[in-house]
Amino acid sequence: VKTGKGKKIMENIRSILHEMENEENKLLKVRRGRLLENNLSIQVITLLIVVLAFLFVLFLIYYLQKSIIKRSKNLEKSEKKLRKTEQKLSLHVKQTPLAVIEWNLNFEVVDWNPAAEKIFGYTKQEAIGRKALDLIVSEDFKELGEKVWNSVITQKRGDRGENDNVTKNGKVIKCAWFN
């Protein structure tokens, strides 16, 4: 094998093996290149997805912020209108010649306008917190007054009525009530 034809055959085999090794190395380089390209493509795609998600979040934040600002401005306008309406109503209640009395569910005075002071003789401070039955309802009407009040707070009644009431100095006056 070391001389002659055997030597020549062995050299050919070595040459073929060497070529095969070179081709295999070339193929491995191509595969590595493709793997690197694929990895790079995956990284680029991942980066693109992250960037798009970030942009979406930024857009969402912008939209929400804009919506909150708009709602806040609308709320401010509504609050301003409400304050103006409350001021008008308060002015009407203070300036009306009719007694306006606000009661709580226990039939105690919560608010008492100037006309109520003039008609019944009690100041606002004297009337606040007092029960109607002890303040302006005549003895003859106390039992019926309790029934009327109960029907008003249970929504069974709440329209209009007339009865005798008593002022601070004991004078009996005829009053029309709108509940």
- Give the confidence band of 158 by pLDDT, cuts at 50, 70, 90: low
Residues 67-91 have pLDDT tens digits of 999 999 999 999 999 999 999 999 9
Rounded to 5 degrees, what are φ and ψ at 167?
-85, 175
Tokens 């980066």 appear where?
A: 47
Mean pLDDT of the chain: 88
